[in-house]
Structure 1
Amino acid sequence: MNKKYILCIFVVLITITNSSYASPAYSKLMSKRVTSIPMSITFKTPSKIGANNTAKILDDDNNLNAVGKLDIVKNDGSSDCCTASVIRTDNGNIAMTAAHCLYDFNTQTWNSEAYFYPGYNNGQEGPVGKVTVKDGYILVEFTENPITYDFAFIKLDYPDGKKLQDDTGAFDYDLDIPRDNYPVNVFGYPIDGDMDCAKDGQHLCEYEGLSFDMPPDVPNPQSYRAITIDVGQCSSGGPWVRIFNPDTKTGNVMGVSHVLW
């Protein structure tokens, strides 16, 4: 399958849901309908590019640069925070996050600005600094169903001819989500929730544990997956990575955290 069509076919990822439900956390499979319609925006902001269930803070000298902090400026001028991750594409400057990090479901409007800091950790911007989000992509279905379709893609304003993924690394992605129980690594910059880390929005935190299918008494249990913790605000859009290799910092993104508040 040619990954250059990612914005059209990446609709079989799962959205991980946490604080929108009672603990334990749940996830819902995204629609596999090929008729899903993408919506997009070009943000009119100048380029600003700088050169065993556990949770932990990643070592400051061992940052996972494919994951980064996403700063949001809303239409009313207030700020918000999310998490995003670089995924491997032909373009090389694509990351994924949660749709509500780009589009305000309550007001049905796009946010005004977004900035990505790949490798952000311990208050440090990371190896390439601040990168402006140039374009955002969601599915139009999100405007009616903010849980099932809460995933998005961002195109980053990186220097012409360069690929961000070459400087930060990138995750592959799953287009066929396996069932049953298996390990997953979840990343984010929480300011609350259940991760055992600083939870100050400045540290990249990791949850490592089993993801599992929902019990049969849940409506449409085949459409959900779960972990046992709430990963916290500002972890929205953070990747759930299957077969993560901590040495090579590679793995397959199978979904993103959904943390509405």
Structure 2
Amino acid sequence: MDSQGILEIFGKEIISGSPREENIWTKRCYAFPTSSKPMSKRAKMEPMIKTYDIPSEERTSNTTDFFVDDINNINSVGLLEIVKTDGSIDGCTASVIRTNNGNIAITAAHCIFDYYLQTWNTNLYFFPGYNNNVPGRVGKVYAYKSFIWGDFRQDATRFDYGFIKLYYPEGRKLQDDTGAFDYDLVIPQGNVPTTVFGYPHDNSGGFVNCSKDGQHLCQWQGDSFDFPSTLPNYEWYRGINVDVGYGSSGGPWLRNYDPNTNAGNVMGISHGILYEPYPDTSTASWAWHQDDFTTLLEYAENSQ
């Protein structure tokens, strides 16, 4: 992986409600920030909030019609399409979490805020249940607001998670139509059986038995683990022994995942590969603190 990690993939066949064919998917910091270096000092916690402009015609047409044939099994995980400031398109992974608001998704902060350009991305579009080049039952959902911790702006390895408040019309709750994951406020320690989802592209990463073209939802199962105490700031992260690939950033790490009900607890999200001395074969997740997580989530739920 080079220092910029630039990669392009063209979209596939046009399907109503799916990412546009003419979009060029560029991998820059959205698969992961290319190898990130931990810091040893925690900065003051300040939230950052982005509001997106949703044209009136999109507000009236957004997700009001369900797709008749819902062939996708997991609608609480979805493809996150990112429009950058220059108009180019990138991709990440996001998932719906269970909240009182009902319209909240979690993803990586670097999918929301461009660390290298130090600016917000222009727009986010969420396709819950997207798989096999086919949208899920609700099609495309527009982001209304995003929330990250300002600490991420100083170092891409820190607090690399954020929440997206999604626009869902007529007072409905997205989670009622897609399902939602619960989440862990206290991250478990030791080896924990974990299921990880993502949309890798360019045949990148270590997912097996899955087309890694950015159009298919891939799954990995194994143990997540604590990093050795000899590593700097080891307690800030958890790891899995797989490179999840470009485009899987923000994908959920699920504890107690039940494939029959698609229920589980989000205990992390895919960040990327950390700098040496961290192993270059392990994807990391930020191990959030309970107070930090709930405070940022409250900002998201209570915002107007």
Q: TM-score range by the shorter chain?
A: 0.7 to 0.9
Distance 1:172 1:156 in 2: 17
Partner of 2:137: 127
- Runs of 5+ in structure 2 lacking a partner? 1-30, 274-304
Partner of 1:94: 104
Q: 1:115: Cα distance to partner?
A: 0.3
Q: 1:62: Cα distance to partner?
A: 4.8
Question: Matched residue pairs, number?
Answer: 230
Partner of 1:10: none
Is the aligned partner of 1:176 residue 2:186?
Answer: yes
The 3-state SS of whatever aligns with 2:175 is: helix
1:218-229 aligned within 5 A = 218-229=231-242
Partner of 2:54: 45
In terms of mean alpha carbon deviation, does 198-207 or 217-226 score higher? 217-226
The 3-state SS of whatever aligns with 1:212 is: strand
Of 226, 231, 247, the match for 1:234: 247
Task: State the TM-score, normalizing by the size of structure 1.
Answer: 0.82
Q: 1:219: Cα distance to partner?
A: 1.9
Pick the structure with greater CA Rg. Answer: 2
Q: Which has the higher strand share?
A: 1
Task: State the TM-score, normalizing by the size of structure 2.
Answer: 0.71
Q: 1:148: Cα distance to partner?
A: 1.5
Distance 1:89 1:36 in 2: 23
Confirm or deny: 8 A CA contact 1:233 1:259 kept in the other structure: no
Q: 1:248: Cα distance to partner?
A: 1.0
Give the CA RMSD over aligned residues: 2.5
Of 84, 107, 110, the match for 2:120: 110
Amino acid in structure 2 at the alignment position of 1:38: P
Partner of 2:196: 186
Confirm or deny: 8 A CA contact 1:188 1:204 kept in the other structure: yes
Per-residue displacement from partner, 1:216-258 (whole Å, max 9, x unpaired)?
3212333322111100111011100111111111111011111
Partner of 2:154: 144
Q: Percent identity?
A: 54
Partner of 1:251: 264
Point out 4+ residue stretches in structure 1 off by more than 6 angstroms. Answer: none
Amino acid in structure 2 at the alignment position of 1:189: Y
Amino acid in structure 2 at the alignment position of 1:195: F
Confirm or deny: 8 A CA contact 1:114 1:132 kept in the other structure: yes
The 3-state SS of whatever aligns with 1:226 is: strand
Per-residue displacement from partner, 1:2-54 (whole Å, max 9, x unpaired)?
xxxxxxxxxxxxxxx978459xxxx99xx7x9x62211111113335233xxx
Per-residue displacement from partner, 1:43-102 (whole Å, max 9, x unpaired)?
113335233xxxxxxxx9452100000001100111100000000000000001111111
